[in-house]
Structure 1
Amino acid sequence: MSIEDKKAKKELIRQKMLERQSEARVVRKIVFIIAIILFIVGGVVAGGGYFYIKSAVQPKDPDNKKEKQVEIPIGSSTTSIGKILEDNGIIKDAKVFKYYVKFKNETGFMAGEYTFSPSMTMPEIIDSLKTGKVVDQVVFKMTIPEGKQLEQIADIIGEKTNKKGEDVFKMLNDKAFIESMMEKYPDLLTEEILNENIKYPLEGYLFPATYSFYKENPTVEEIVTVMLDKTSEVLKDYRPELEEKGWTVHQLMTMASLIEEEATEQVDRDQIASVFYNRIEAGMPLQTDPTVLYAQGEHKSKVLYKDLEIDSPYNTYKNVGLTPGPIANAGTTSIEAALAPAETDYLYFLATSTGEVLFSKTLQEHNQKKEKYITNTN
């Protein structure tokens, strides 16, 4: 190749490199311009979204104090409540309401007929929904005491609604009804309640409290929905402890029910809980009499030795560990004891005729107390 050809080739290569550098500069400029445009558009969208949301959480019409009655049906979700409020002109945007409630972690909304106005703020509306400030007067109240079992609760519901207790009880154990409740409360009613050894799936899940109703003869579904709402609301505060222990809701409700049934007014439930935990850790059966009575389906003041022989997964004299499910409904005190038992070495406890509960570390000590406080009083 001649010298002229080599020079021509080098010049061609140089020209191509210059062209590529020029193209690269153009590409970088285009990318930079696009980035600037996207940033500006993003800022406009974000800013617009911010101002829209800020506007949506403000009163729809601060000057309009005209009151309107709005009915929130039993079992309404946050989404449906937001839509009802938007449709009635109380709030600007149902979706913003939904996410506002979620962001604020608000729960426990109550059904009823409310009086709202477009001038109300979002916190005021939420406060009304939580406290149940409704237009209608309470038609009746229903109190479910702690420690009640599903059959007893069915009788209370029946008495308050002019229904037969046995019909209510049948409804509470209807497969389709239970599945519908599971679908409505997936974080509360899990597949664990359908275990083949479970006597009654909803046992222990209807929270003990006083409930107010605003119409005569509500359906069983409406009543149970209110009660499960309450259970969900109560357990919400204990979710962190549950996760820390690695327990399911079902295990918690089961342990809490055993504590509830063994407790008396004079005893600290956390000490009873400690006995149960210590026994489980030691591989010992819990040996708690209420489980035997539950297995028998009876309510007796005294358990006989022959009762302890019943063949049932609920019999904690024959089976190690927790029962398949709760044996009654438990209050917050028993739930808290189940989550935070006292630190003791106790393996036994004994209830005296006066209601006092005596704790022991050894079987010998337990038998001595039993001889002194139980045998000698019979």
Structure 2
Amino acid sequence: MGNKPARSSGTRLGRVVGGACLLVAAALALAGLWFRGQLQPLPAGDEFYFRVETPKGLREAMYELSSRGVVRNANVWFRYGQAVNAPRTIGEGTYEIRPGMSPKELYKALTVPVRRMVRIPETNWASRTGRLLEQQGVCTAEEYAAAIREPIRYQDKVGFRLPEGGTLEGYLYPDTYDLPPLLGAEGVVLRQLRAFEDRVIRKKPLPDDLHRALIVASLIELEVARDDERPLVAGVIENRLRIGMRLQIDATVLYALDEWKNLSRKEIQDTDSPYNTYRYGGLPPGPICSPTAKSVDAALNPSEHDYLYYVALPDGSHLFSATYAEHLANIAKRKRALAAEEGGP
């Protein structure tokens, strides 16, 4: 009988411990349910682009995406990401995200930046490129225009001398680039300047007056489709400049109008711009596009000849002449070629 109180005390202790264990188990179960609940995707929504300018940690990314309606609980999704070996760092890039993603879907999406190849044509001047970039969702045309008006912003990021004033027209190399959505204008400009440095600066002995060479090269770029004719047209430009003859290049008027179309005689006469080489002598004040390496090479190495005129044929080639009489004869040939192409007499 003396041992009965001890057994009663042990029973009570066991009950207390058992009860505590049940409470802990219940609490853990409730915590687990709550945790799993916090991992549930939010309601589905429209896809959007999530831009990361500089690498950031997973926790920071979860908090940003929580504010945008993708993540239910940023801390829970971060902790779960650690447990399932999600990327600790989100790299620079643009990511396609949508509300309604599960955690694992989101972690996977944050490892694959969107790639979008955008071709910037050789014949584009900067304002046309800006409109193209806006259509592709890379940046707005206004942002691009503002970015190229400040060459000094990029001087310490390239290994060649940029113009001190004006714009970067002429230095924005035309090519096909990986330009993800929301990249921003500065990212585009830097890619173009570095391509220009790689394709032009590093491969050619350049003159002291690089800007003049780029002006001539830009005229060639918009006037000539065939590579073998680039030096010939460069020679015509230099011959006209040498004798003080106006260049009378249609592309300069189109640049002034900021529109690519067939020009009327009235538009040529009425467009009062220093870029209009029908009205003003010499070279235009700046490049009218950013030329390719082939056009820069032609500008630096013009053919030596007596030609002062050229006429475009329907196939993209040109007829060259040294006298105005020969030029008129070539114009007649062009008209006959156009009539034949259209099925006329």
Same fold (TM over 0.5): yes
Residue 122 of structure 1: aligned partner? none
Separation of aligned partners in 2, 1:328 and 1:375: 32
How far apart are 1:163 and its partner, in Å? 3.9
Residue 146 of structure 2: aligned partner? 171
Q: Percent identity?
A: 33
Residue 351 of structure 1: aligned partner? 312
Gaps of 5+ in 2: 1-52, 56-90, 93-110, 340-345
**Cα deviation digits, residues 120-172 of structure 1 (max 9, x gap):** xxxxxxxxxxxxxxx9777222221111111111122223335443x334433
Residue 162 of structure 2: aligned partner? 189
Residue 230 of structure 1: aligned partner? 195
Separation of aligned partners in 2, 1:359 and 1:336: 20
Structure 1 308/188 Cα, relative in aligned 2: closer, same or farther at 3 Å? Answer: farther
2:253 is matched by which residue type in structure 1?
V
**Cα deviation digits, residues 180-222 of structure 1 (max 9, x gap):** 124544734222x43xxxxxx1222210111225x65222212
Give TM-score scaled by structure 1 length: 0.55
Residue 286 of structure 1: aligned partner? 247
Residue 370 (structure 1) aligned with residue 324 (structure 2): no
SS for the counterpart of 1:342 is coil
Structure 1 217/231 Cα, relative in aligned 2: closer, same or farther at 3 Å? Answer: same
Q: 1:153 aligns with which of 129, 133, 136?
A: 129
Separation of aligned partners in 2, 1:204 and 1:266: 19
- Please list, as runs of the form range in 1=range in 2, the aligned pairs for 1:95-244 lying within 5 A after superposition: 139-161=115-137, 163-165=139-141, 167-173=142-148, 175=149, 177-182=150-155, 184-185=157-158, 187-191=160-164, 193-194=165-166, 201-213=167-179, 216-240=181-205, 242-243=206-207
Of 285-294 and 136-145, deviating more is: 136-145
Gaps of 5+ in 1: 1-71, 75-111, 114-134, 195-200
Residue 94 of structure 1: aligned partner? none
User: After TM superposition, what 4+ stretches of structure 1 lie above 6 angstroms from structure 2?
Assistant: 135-138
Asked whether the equivalents of residues 292 and 308 of structure 1 are also in contact (C-alpha less than 8 Å), the reply is: no
Separation of aligned partners in 1, 2:264 and 2:156: 39
Separation of aligned partners in 2, 1:137 and 1:164: 21
**Cα deviation digits, residues 6-45 of structure 1 (max 9, x gap):** xxxxxxxxxxxxxxxxxxxxxxxxxxxxxxxxxxxxxxxx
Structure 1 306/150 Cα, relative in aligned 2: closer, same or farther at 3 Å? Answer: closer
Separation of aligned partners in 2, 1:280 and 1:137: 50
Separation of aligned partners in 2, 1:203 and 1:292: 16
Separation of aligned partners in 1, 2:130 and 2:144: 5
Separation of aligned partners in 2, 1:204 and 1:151: 12
Separation of aligned partners in 2, 1:253 and 1:282: 21
1:233 is matched by which residue type in structure 2?
D
SS for the counterpart of 1:202 is coil
- Please list, as runs of the form range in 1=range in 2, the aligned pairs for 1:6-85 lying within 5 A after superposition: none
Structure 1 352/376 Cα, relative in aligned 2: closer, same or farther at 3 Å? Answer: closer
How far apart are 1:350 and its partner, in Å? 0.4
Separation of aligned partners in 1, 2:137 and 2:302: 39
How far apart are 1:300 and its partner, in Å? 1.1
Separation of aligned partners in 2, 1:338 and 1:347: 16
Give TM-score scaled by structure 2 length: 0.60
Separation of aligned partners in 1, 2:287 and 2:227: 23
How far apart are 1:319 and its partner, in Å? 2.1
Residue 329 (structure 1) aligned with residue 290 (structure 2): yes
Asked whether the equivalents of residues 206 and 231 of structure 1 are also in contact (C-alpha less than 8 Å), the reply is: yes
SS for the counterpart of 2:136 is helix
RMSD across aligned positions (CA): 3.0
Separation of aligned partners in 1, 2:189 and 2:290: 14
